[in-house]
A and B are shown apart, each in its own frame.
Chain A
Amino acid sequence: MATQEETYNLIITGVGGQGNVLSSQLIGQALVGKGYFVTIGETYGASQRGGSVMSHIRISSKKQLSPLIPRGKADIVIGLEPVEALRVLTVYGNSQTVVLSNTRPIYPVDVTSGDEKYPDPEEIQRALKDLSRKVHYIPATEKAMEMGSSILGNMIMMGALLELNLLPLNLAEFRETLSRTFKEARLETNLRALEEGKRTVRS
């Protein structure tokens, strides 16, 4: 069962276009439906174009929280991109933060141009571990590509998140929100991605 904390601070981060806005909205809708106060602060607009993006999702059983998580107060960080997960931890992480990180990098043009370096996977893993309580690595993009589209990566990450019981939300409740949001064909694919995500963290 989910822990009985009163508030949950979750950050979903990645690169513009990976679907973090939609994921956070779906989680928020599901939880408001369960009687929680949810506040979501998003960065998008210009940031959509290849920049770092993040959504702060704040859940409380008591009151409406502000749309920004104070520094060092993230409980859960979901990185749709590994370096972005790390970037978020340096500001919002603490020694108790739980991280779910996609394993597939998206290289910034600053890196492909040779101006800057993208850290090695081992370096990233070491740093993520140093700045959190627990890190779950999810090969979300790889699995999504196997399923036919990299964009399903976000739903695979959601499946993993729900399977880990880190939020007061179970898979059935989330599925219900999805079924109210997506039309048939898309719903079916997204539900399959959720299941795939569950399997990635099941031991």
Chain B
Amino acid sequence: MSVITLNEPGKELLMMGNEAIARGALEAGVKVGAAYPGTPSTDIIENLAGVASQMGLYVEWSINEKVALEVASSASFSGLRAICAMKQNGMNVASDYLLTLNLVGVKTGLVLVACDDPQGHSSNNEQDSRLFAKMADLPLLEPSTFQESKEMTKWAFQLSEEIGNVVILRGVTRTSHARGNVVLGQLPKTEVKARFDRSKQWLTQPLVPKHQQLHRTLDRLEEIYAASPFNQYLGPESPKVLIITSGTGWLYSQEAVEILGLEGSVGILKVGTTWPLPTQWIVENLKRTDQVLFIEEVDPFLEGNVKEIAADHARKIGPKEFYGKKSGHVPPMGEMTPDRVVDALARIFKISYHPRTPEYETRAQEVAKTMLPSRALGFCAGCPHRASFWSIKNALQMDNREGFATYDIGCYALGRGPAGYYQLRVGGAMGTGTGLASGFGRLSDLGFDQPVIAMCGDSTFFHSAMPALVNAHYNKSNLVMVILDNSATAMTGFQPHPGVGKNAMGETVSPVEIEEVCRAFGAKVEVTDPFDIPDTRDKLLRALEDPEGAKVLIMRRRCQMLKGKDEKPPYRVWVDPQKCIGEGCGCDRVCTRVFKCPGLIWDPKEGKSKVDEVICIGCGVCTDICPEGAIIKEETK
């Protein structure tokens, strides 16, 4: 049973931040959840989907974040509490509707959870989604602990109804994707019937008065926030330095103060309600001291907004020394860590802090510099993408017209590095590979004569590559779109999508056939199994040679991580030491140096290749790439 439906109020559990958010939504009586998967936000809706039938919810994986927000909004307009979750990039996609919805308002509680990934651990960018709250004039909450993730979510629904608008809750990797103690509350019994009251129109018009109303709501929010238990001060009455912080900074700051023994000199002002800022409360706390340090992720959001308040109240509170991202006391990019807070405080207080002895530090640095091999991210053993990229590399080489590939987001984006033989040249956002290729492929009038391959995943195809493909056909662009169809949204944990035939509720639905969609869009379509390397290469070459219009080649094979769950390895694979000639072979160690499956290793003592039986999953693809036929596969029984 899922921990998020445990009806034992008072029980203390270890929960992931995202589980706590899902639980908070349940405690608030949420009825609808929608999202497109994206780390570090995925687990919120995934957890709700897992308990949907048990708890009487409707939960879906929408095809993109904008649709997810629209679906969640429809629930709110129908009198149901709804939650919508997305990663930072998703906010950009959803923002189109968000900046309309803010003027329209909502009926029942609608909470939008935006999870940012400072440092881009699992992302293609680093972004501070809090700016959307300011842009949209909407309330913003930032939890600092796991318990708060739950409590704030619960309160966010109430707040949303109180002001009749969306509430944005912002998580980050270290709150959403970390685990900690959470005490459970009560799960309510709610019976509501969804119904849209057609006597009312939900419009942005009259536009300017609606905008004015939003600003009045912001003023009201400041009053509501003034009494919020999510804002608090910890420290001496008049500290030398006041840290103003939100999110992860609350725990990091406490720890840094403790490490440096500055409990008597530093106060910490934790802001949980970060937009609009509760001005009066901030002003009162600024009076405590004349030195202020800002600790937050990613942009100087509190920093800028608090400085604005300080400027407005300068006469009352006097001049201040501000430390943070602007002053260089805190790095202006990358994720916050307790060490960054320690460094900033040590600099302000002119403390020399060394967690280890100089001898230890020297040894550690020496080891780090000389002994640690890098561990580049790559495709799993048996991943269909490796075989796909192998064929793309070879086809582009044989085609010999300086062709190149554009790309999107997903596991296959790792193909930009050694795992995909550095084939990806430009791209990086959802659907962007095809949009770029549509442009490149139409530049022939201006002298462009290189073939272009647009790489796209199956889930990404539905998310945002479809419009780009229509665009390519409509504008007579010459491109080859390669869809790597591994039958799952793999990078985020194998969520289903419209091509799979199952939805988040586990219902069977007729799968949307990607090839049919592409044909309907006017593209010429071929399908291949990437493990059939000659067929894949030949089809790709033919597509590259075709000078007319949009060509689609679907490279279809189920993700090995999924296959491995319910299928036995098809082959036992080993290297025949009699046949492998090692460095003496003219192949330049093609298996380990070029193909780079982690299941193939190099035995420096013997000077031959070997299969690492711990890693190899027996897909057998490598047997086709060894020129000596030294890699042997034998069917498993």
A and B are partners in one complex rather than unrelated chains:
yes
Residues of A within 8 A of B (CB): 15, 17, 25, 28-29, 32, 37-47, 49-52, 64-73, 83, 86-87, 89-91, 93-95, 104, 106-114, 116-119, 123-124, 127, 130-131, 141, 145, 150
Q: Determine the residue in chain B with the shortest Cβ distance to A52.
A: B375
Assuming the contacts A49-B380, A70-B255, asked whether A90 and B375 have C-beta atoms less than 8 A apart, the reply is no
Flag whether B596 is at the interface (Cβ < 8 A): yes
Binds A, one of B353-361, B438-446, B466-474: B353-361
Q: What A residues does B615 contact at CB under 8 A?
A: 106
Is there contact, CB below 8 Å, between B342 and A70? yes
Flag whether B259 is at the interface (Cβ < 8 A): yes
Is there contact, CB below 8 Å, between B373 and A45? no
**Known contacts A49-B378, A72-B355, A87-B368; 8 further A-B pairs (Cβ under 8 A):** A41-B178, A45-B121, A64-B180, A66-B248, A67-B248, A68-B337, A93-B364, A107-B601
Q: Determine the residue in chain A with the shortest Cβ distance to B592.
A: A112
Q: What B residues does A51 contact at CB under 8 A?
A: 375-377
Q: What B residues does A66 contact at CB under 8 A?
A: 174, 248, 251-252, 254-255, 338
Is there contact, CB below 8 Å, between B355 and A28? no
Q: Tell me which of A40, A72, A89, A109 contacts B180 (CB under 8 A).
A: A40
Q: Determine the residue in chain B with the shortest Cβ distance to A26.
A: B14
Q: What A residues does B40 contact at CB under 8 A?
A: 45
Is there contact, CB below 8 Å, between A67 and B174? yes
Assuming the contacts A41-B178, A46-B122, A127-B371, asked whether A113 and B14 have C-beta atoms less than 8 A apart, the reply is no
What's the minimum C-beta distance from A144 to chain B, rounded to whole angstroms?
9
Assuming the contacts A47-B121, A49-B414, A95-B357, asked whether A110 and B14 have C-beta atoms less than 8 A apart, the reply is no
Q: Tell me which of B178, B374, B598 contacts A67 (CB under 8 A).
A: B178
Residues of B within 8 A of A (CB): 12-14, 39-40, 121-122, 145-147, 174-175, 177-181, 248, 251-252, 254-256, 259, 337-339, 342, 355-357, 360, 363-365, 367-368, 371-380, 411, 414, 418-419, 491, 589, 592-594, 596, 598, 600-602, 612-615
Q: What B residues does A45 contact at CB under 8 A?
A: 39-40, 121-122, 177, 491
Is there contact, CB below 8 Å, between B179 and A131? no
Is there contact, CB below 8 Å, between B371 and A123? yes
Q: What B residues does A112 contact at CB under 8 A?
A: 592-593, 596, 598, 600-602
Q: Determine the residue in chain A with the shortest Cβ distance to B360.
A: A95
- Cα separation A136 to B634 with both chains bound (whole Å): 39
Is there contact, CB below 8 Å, between B180 and A71? no
Is there contact, CB below 8 Å, between B372 and A104? no
Q: What B residues does A49 contact at CB under 8 A?
A: 377-380, 411, 414, 419
Is there contact, CB below 8 Å, between B181 and A64? yes
What's the minimum C-beta distance from B368 to chain A, rounded to whole angstroms?
4
Is there contact, CB below 8 Å, between B14 and A70? no
Assuming the contacts A65-B255, A68-B337, A117-B373, asked whether A109 and B363 have C-beta atoms less than 8 A apart, the reply is no
Is there contact, CB below 8 Å, between A87 and B363? no
What's the minimum C-beta distance from A86 to chain B, rounded to whole angstroms?
6
Q: What A residues does B338 contact at CB under 8 A?
A: 66, 68-70
What's the minimum C-beta distance from B596 to chain A, rounded to whole angstroms?
5
Q: List 18 A-B contacts (CB under 8 A).
A: A39-B180, A41-B178, A49-B378, A50-B378, A50-B379, A50-B419, A50-B598, A68-B338, A70-B256, A83-B371, A87-B368, A89-B364, A112-B601, A114-B593, A116-B373, A124-B371, A130-B363, A131-B360
Is there contact, CB below 8 Å, between B372 and A90? yes
Q: What A residues does B377 contact at CB under 8 A?
A: 46-47, 49-51
Q: Determine the residue in chain A with the shortest Cβ distance to B368.
A: A90
Q: What A residues does B178 contact at CB under 8 A?
A: 39-42, 67
Assuming the contacts A17-B380, A49-B380, A90-B368, asked whether A108 and B181 have C-beta atoms less than 8 A apart, the reply is no
What's the minimum C-beta distance from A77 to chain B, rounded to whole angstroms?
13
- Cα separation A59 to B614 with both chains bound (whole Å): 32
Is there contact, CB below 8 Å, between A70 and B598? no
Q: What B residues does A114 contact at CB under 8 A?
A: 589, 592-593, 602
Q: What B residues does A68 contact at CB under 8 A?
A: 174, 252, 337-338
Q: What A residues does B255 contact at CB under 8 A?
A: 65-66, 70
What's the minimum C-beta distance from A201 to chain B, rounded to whole angstroms?
22
Q: What B residues does A150 contact at CB under 8 A?
A: 614
Q: Tell me which of B145, B342, B614 contacts A64 (CB under 8 A).
A: B145
Q: What B residues does A83 contact at CB under 8 A?
A: 371-373
Q: What B residues does A141 contact at CB under 8 A?
A: 614
Is there contact, CB below 8 Å, between B418 and A46? no
Assuming the contacts A49-B414, A107-B612, A110-B373, asked whether A70 and B491 have C-beta atoms less than 8 A apart, the reply is no
Q: What B residues does A116 contact at CB under 8 A?
A: 373-374
- Cα separation A89 to B379 with both chains bound (whole Å): 27
Assuming the contacts A32-B181, A50-B598, asked whether A64 and B373 have C-beta atoms less than 8 A apart, the reply is no
Is there contact, CB below 8 Å, between B177 and A42? yes
- Cα separation A116 to B411 with both chains bound (whole Å): 24
- Cα separation A143 to B380 with both chains bound (whole Å): 24
Q: What A residues does B175 contact at CB under 8 A?
A: 67
Q: Determine the residue in chain A with the shortest Cβ distance to B375.
A: A108
Is there contact, CB below 8 Å, between B364 and A109? no
- Cα separation A199 to B371 with both chains bound (whole Å): 31
Q: Tell me which of A15, A29, A73, A123 contacts B375 (CB under 8 A).
A: A15
- Cα separation A69 to B593 with both chains bound (whole Å): 37
Q: What B residues does A72 contact at CB under 8 A?
A: 355-356
Assuming the contacts A25-B14, A50-B380, A112-B601, asked whether A41 and B593 have C-beta atoms less than 8 A apart, the reply is no
Q: Determine the residue in chain B with the shortest Cβ distance to A89.
A: B364
What's the minimum C-beta distance from A40 to chain B, rounded to whole angstroms?
4
Assuming the contacts A42-B178, A43-B121, A113-B418, asked whether A64 and B259 have C-beta atoms less than 8 A apart, the reply is no
Is there contact, CB below 8 Å, between A67 and B180? yes
Q: What A residues does B145 contact at CB under 8 A?
A: 64
What's the minimum C-beta distance from A132 to chain B, rounded to whole angstroms?
10
Is there contact, CB below 8 Å, between A86 and B367? yes
- Cα separation A46 to B360 with both chains bound (whole Å): 32
Q: Determine the residue in chain B with the shortest Cβ distance to A18.
A: B614
- Cα separation A150 to B122 with both chains bound (whole Å): 27
Q: What A residues does B356 contact at CB under 8 A?
A: 72, 93-95
Q: What B residues does A106 contact at CB under 8 A?
A: 598, 612, 614-615
Assuming the contacts A109-B418, A112-B592, asked whether A64 and B146 have C-beta atoms less than 8 A apart, the reply is yes
Assuming the contacts A32-B13, A64-B180, asked whether A131 and B251 have C-beta atoms less than 8 A apart, the reply is no
What's the minimum C-beta distance from B126 to chain A, rounded to whole angstroms?
14
Q: Determine the residue in chain A with the shortest Cβ distance to B13.
A: A32
